[in-house]
Amino acid sequence: MVHLFLIWYFVLGFLLGNGVPHFTFGAAGKVFRSPFGQRSSPRTNVLWGLSNFIGATIIVAGLVALNLYSMYSLVAMMAGFWLMMLMFGTGIKRFLNEGEQKPAPAPA
């Protein structure tokens, strides 16, 4: 039997993982990237994080209502979550260093 619904659990984990940094940075009042790759206000990031959480909640409600889960559901969800955390962890240093200007070399 094909478990295509596990893709939805992967998407669920991805949404939860994406919502965490946006909501956290926004709630802390810090500027962070928006979904479109630009620096955004804390309010925009809080709203984006909440929209990710709401989307994840809707997916869970649909999957549970349709009785679509198996013993691999948690594995698929965690794979999506940890993939997003890995992407965030490897990209955050580059984002935080964008604001720093390297000093120009002295003329010879």
What's the rounded Cα separation, in Å, for the pair 89 and 21?
10
For residue 52, what are the CA distances in angstroms to 61, 95, 106?
14, 21, 47
Domain annotation covers residue 106: no
Mean pLDDT, rounded, of the chain:
85
Name the residue among 7, 6, 8, 50 with its Cα closest to residue 27. Answer: 50
In a domain, 103, yes or no: no
Q: Which residue has the higher pLDDT, 27 or 97?
A: 27
Q: What pLDDT, on a 0 to 100 scale, did the predictor assign at position 89? A: 85
Does 40 fall in a domain? yes
Task: Judge whether 107 lies within some domain.
Answer: no
pLDDT band at 40 (very low <50, low <70, confident <90, very high): confident
Domain that holds residue 15: 5-97
Task: Provide the CB-side half-sphere exposure for 55 (13 A, CA).
Answer: 18
pLDDT tens digits along 2-38? 678 889 999 999 999 999 999 999 999 988 887 777 8
